[in-house]
A and B are shown apart, each in its own frame.
Chain A
Amino acid sequence: MATERIAFLTQMVEVLTSTISFGERLNNMVHLLARYLKVDLALYFGLDKAKETLILNLSSRGHVPAHMRVEFALGQGLVGEVASARKAKIVKRSQPGVLAANRALEKLHPAFATLAGFPVADDNFLYGVLILVDRQERQLTPAERQNVHLATLMLAGTLRQALLQEEAKKRIAELSVLFEVGKALSVTVDLNELLERVVTTTAKVITARGAALQIIDGNTREVRISSKYGEIPLACPSPGDILANTPPAGDLPHKQGQETNAAGQTHYFLAVPLTFKGQLQGTICVYDKFAAEGQYLPFDPENRQLLYTMAGLIVNAIENALTFKQVESLAARNERMVRNLTVVQVLSRALLTTVQEERLLEIILQGLTLDQGLGFDRGVVFLVDETNQVLQGVKGAQRSAELKDMPLFEALLSPLAGEVKVEEWQVPLRSDQGALAQTVLQKRPYHVREPAQEGGRSPVAPPEFSPPEFFVAPLVAKDRAIGAILVDNQASGRPLEEEPLHVLRMFSTQTGLVVENAHLYSTIEANNRELLLIRERMLESDRLAALSSLASGMAHEIRNPLVSIGGFARRIAKLVDEKSPLRGYVEVIQEEVTRLEKLLREILDFTGENLSFYGDHDLNKLIDDTLLLVQRDLDACQIKVVKELASMPRLHCDDRQVKQVFYNLFQNACQAMPLGGTLAIRSYPVEREDGLYEAVAITDTGGGIPLEVLHNIFNPFFSTKDYGTGLGLAIAQRIVSRHYGQVEVNNELGKGVTFIVSLPVAKYCLVKETGQVAALASTLKAPKGGG
């Protein structure tokens, strides 16, 4: 007996210390025990603490199939009694109540007669109960009892080891999962990438089919961030839902549940809150734990613990990413601001390089549209036309990549690559004309996001120029809006960004002054040019005056001898007999002297000898009077006269001089049409910027003036004719300019010439009475035939 016992214990210790798995060890131990005690069956019931039941785990006959896993509640049957009392007990089938209480064991051994139960426990825990079953009624010797006790201690030790190892394995697994999760979440600070990783990693770690994350603003309840992975069969509970669900004492806040859909498929979910600093609140929720194909499991408390731990990591990672994003956007904004300010600074420097308006506008437009500048797709500069009260498109440009590699300053000064035609873009300066007119009228910028509505009221742009969204800023100089700048991103359709617009606001106020200065400068320049022109004209008239005095001196010197020669020739003529050949000679002398004297008069007329006698005369009458003087010449050349004389008020002029003008022009026309033609004379009132004029247009059909002599026709002493002084047109012009009028020539080669003489009304009348001027003005403005 003793040897058997020693052999048994030796075998038990061998099993206990072997390296085989705990399950195998336990199986072997139960088997050894049954053999040693020569009982039919040894069974081990493990305690399930949560359910407070004891389940058959091991049998000396080997593997326990699922349907044989008999269960006893605590206190039920021998198994339950031993567990509750923690004390060994032996019962017989024959004893009353035993069979009833242990009927379940009949399944395992239908003919059992003896049942012996022993608690499997150590000093602290009860692990389960060992039951020995035999067909015979029998007792255990004290030695056997002792050995069974030793065996239960060994079983308890092994079970404890197994539990500890299981626990350790789980902890290690959990830690390594958390380590993996932490690693996964820390590799990125990009929020979008992070969120994707969070849901993916969470689902994988929990072995769920799907995971969802949602972060809301605690104040507004607005969803700020959400991310999903896998299949999301149910809605993600809100943080409020979770917190409202009071957890059992000692448990962490969570929400867990299941729903069965119409198709009969049950889905499970588990959600825990994400608690952020500040007002953000979130939820992470996992769905449907993987079991087998098409089957899902509910989540267990370990999943919950793990998800909870992960939530802490997730919150940290998201908070980091959010902070980083914020810092990043601040840095980017700062960088853009610095860049934009640099643009303005360089632009200002470029604007200082010129005072020419045209160049300034080009530089401004470069600044607006260059990539290295403000980078708008298109820019247009408008200037106010004070006279017509319209905003006039002056210059436009569109973005071009041509200069993008050039430093900004050089690029600004380069010629515009993509000019846009905007000259036909005019906007009346009225408050009902949309943002463009308003920006000037109100002297403030407008950001128009819906131009369609804007245009519905009144079109702001020509049809080919329809920005999806645009921004206009006034050009202000000395508290006056002198124009506007418009920008849009029509070509690319990008929205207009706030910062370049902000820069444009700053920039437009500065630019207004620069443009205004250039405008003033150009006005000064124009005035200078005019002064130069006047100076030239004065020099010209000085030359004419010098010529006049020379001519006049000579004329006088010649006149005296001519008078003597002519006078004595006449005397001789009287003395010479009519039949004498001398008579003819003397007459030649007389005629020649007469011709010379006429020439002298012309010259002296030109040089201003003749006094002028001003009076109020009817211009049409002067034309008629003059026509009488040339009637003989007109008839001789068979020239038809066509008159179209508008009735006009009297003109203050020297009638003799004005008649001289017409006479010279009529004479010219006659000489241009020796073989006949038409002389058209038209008189009409003209209103010009500097006042009212009366004009007379004299048109011949003489074929026009050859181009090579056209520029010379008003030169004194220039003549294409074999006779005459060539002073005709020069005298006419002198007289007309003495009347502050103009002579214009319209030469149509092959047809004829039109001389237009226009004489001002107001200059003379002003000297008289202003009331009369007004009357005159109204007469002249009246429709034809009214005066």
Chain B
Amino acid sequence: MKKILVADDEMSIRLLYSEELKEEGYEVYLAANGREALEIVDKVPLDLVILDIKMPEMDGIEALRQIKEKQPDLPVLLSTAYGEYRQDFATWASDEYLVKSSDLEDLKAAVKRYLKE
């Protein structure tokens, strides 16, 4: 079973994403900020990471940089309410930049694409 980490400071989003991804048959790990996300990345052999950008303690951009340093091959998707971070060079390290939508089909399609399913 593929392991996916979802990092988002909004509890409702974490819940929605984990429910949807579990339903798709993935094992879902959750983190409320970048620091928690990195701890899980260190402990668990993950297949994919979904990062929010605006988070307390450590934001998604910093978390993305550290994850790509440790595991360059681990696909990281940015899922954010902000379109404008697309212009931030730091976000270019991500594999996909997605603007959050209540319709999760785009997100799920991207996950499937990176997990080569």
Binding site for B on A (CB under 8 A): 552, 556, 559-571, 590, 593-594, 597, 604, 608-611
Contact = CB atoms under 8 A, between A and B. Distances in A.
A199 B26 CA distance: 143
Nearest to A596: B102
A559 B86 contact: no
B16 A568 contact: yes
A560 B9 CA distance: 10
Given A571-B16, A571-B19, A563 B83 contact: no
A611 to B, nearest CB: 6
B84 A566 contact: no
Given A564-B15, A564-B16, 8 more contacts: A552-B84, A565-B102, A566-B103, A567-B20, A570-B104, A590-B102, A609-B84, A611-B87
Contacts of B83: 604, 609-611
A560 B101 CA distance: 8
Contact of A561 (B12, B20, B104): B12
Given A563-B100, A566-B102, A567-B104, A556 B81 contact: yes
Nearest to B12: A564
B86 A567 contact: no
A731 B100 CA distance: 22
A169 B83 CA distance: 138
A597 B104 CA distance: 13
A670 B58 CA distance: 49
A559 B8 CA distance: 14
Contacts of A563: 13, 16, 81, 100-102
Interface residues of B, number: 19
A593 B102 contact: yes
A780 B109 CA distance: 47
Contacts of B103: 566, 570, 594
B95 interface: no
Contact of B16 (A567, A597, A610): A567
Contacts of A561: 12
Interface in B82-110: 82-84, 86-87, 100-104
A559 B100 contact: yes
B51 to A, nearest CB: 14
Contacts of A552: 84
Interface string B29-60: 00000000000000000000000001000000
Leading 10 A-B pairs by shortest Cβ distance: A566-B102, A564-B12, A559-B81, A609-B83, A567-B16, A563-B100, A556-B81, A609-B84, A567-B102, A563-B102
Contacts of B10: 560, 564
A376 to B, nearest CB: 71
A560 B8 CA distance: 10
A565 B100 CA distance: 12
A331 B20 CA distance: 115
B13 A564 contact: yes
A566 B107 CA distance: 14
Nearest to A552: B84
Contacts of A569: 102
Interface of B: 10, 12-13, 15-16, 19-20, 54, 81-84, 86-87, 100-104
Nearest to A608: B84
A566 B20 CA distance: 13
A590 B20 CA distance: 16
B100 A570 contact: no
Contacts of A608: 84
Nearest to A612: B87
B116 to A, nearest CB: 25
Nearest to A589: B102
Contacts of A559: 81, 100
Given A571-B20, A609-B83, A562 B13 contact: no
Contacts of B86: 611
Which of A560, A562, A593, A594 has the largest number of chain B CB atoms within 10 A?
A560
A560 B82 contact: no
A146 to B, nearest CB: 168
A571 B17 CA distance: 11
B81 A594 contact: no
B90 to A, nearest CB: 15
Contacts of B16: 563-564, 567-568, 571
Contacts of A611: 83, 86-87
Contacts of A597: 101-102
Contacts of B13: 560, 563-564
Nearest to A610: B83
A561 B19 CA distance: 16
Nearest to A600: B81
B100 A560 contact: yes
A593 B81 CA distance: 15
Nearest to B79: A563
Contacts of B84: 552, 608-609
Contacts of A610: 83
Which of B10, B13, B54, B84 has the largest number of chain A CB atoms within 10 A?
B84
A469 B19 CA distance: 102
A569 B101 CA distance: 13
A353 to B, nearest CB: 58
A564 B102 CA distance: 6
A616 B21 CA distance: 41
25 contacts: A556-B54, A559-B81, A559-B100, A560-B81, A562-B102, A563-B13, A563-B101, A563-B102, A564-B10, A564-B15, A564-B16, A566-B103, A567-B16, A567-B104, A568-B12, A569-B102, A590-B102, A594-B103, A597-B101, A597-B102, A608-B84, A609-B82, A609-B83, A609-B84, A611-B86
A239 B87 CA distance: 113
Nearest to B100: A563
Nearest to A565: B102
Contacts of A594: 102-103
B96 to A, nearest CB: 15
A593 B102 CA distance: 8
A604 B12 CA distance: 23
Contacts of B87: 611
A611 B10 CA distance: 26
Which of A563, A597, A604, A611 has the largest number of chain B CB atoms within 10 A?
A563
A161 to B, nearest CB: 146
A397 B10 CA distance: 82
Nearest to A556: B81
A745 to B, nearest CB: 30
Contacts of B19: 571
Nearest to B102: A566
B66 to A, nearest CB: 24
Nearest to B87: A611
